Amino acid sequence: MGRIQTTHVGSLPRSRQITDLVFAREAGVPVEDAGFNAIVAGAVADIVAKQKAAGVDLPSDGEMSKISYATYIKDRLTGFAGDSSRRPPRDLEQVPSFLERQARSGGTPTYKRPKCVGEITVKTMQPLADDVANFQSALAASGYARGFMNSATPGVIALFQPNEFYKTQDDYLEAVAEGMRAEYEGIVAAGF
């Protein structure tokens, strides 16, 4: 019997430097693109090397450049703006003192979760190009032949970014899928 290969999906822990930089950019603080990308490239190289050391067979870039696994798309697609209301999980609502402590300690998201307020089209694929280049470089440096790059699905996007523009939820999902096509195709074209 052969060895079972390992992989994973999702964000990996970020350094304070990356966290501060990603959240600053999200808050509208001017962050120079080349400097941002250089720091993210270093973080991706570090996280890929850690996956190699841990024995992960098919690594990811850890989603180092993304504010969150679903809301990052507002930087790549048009049609998303504002902030959606959100409710805490029901179990946390039953213990308000814990919920308040979580919020004070940073245990709950402080970034905006936009909603769909306009037509969804591709805004820019430069962030994807940067992610692909950073990941390819990190894979080569760590001796990996291949890796896995995450991308938000239409269902996840629609779940976390409510529709206030399209007539029906089906229309919204179709528009999200069409808008994300360039990212999905770019990831596949890069070999991920």
Please name the residue that has the structure tokens 């999905």.
184
Return the pLDDT at 94: 76
CA distance 129 to 75: 13
Q: Residues in the chain with pLDDT < 70?
A: 1, 86-89, 99, 102-110
Q: Which amino acid is located at 98 in the chain? A: F
pLDDT number for residue 87: 66
- Fold of the 16-189 domain: TIM Barrel (3.20.20)
Q: Which amino acid would we find at residue 133?
A: A
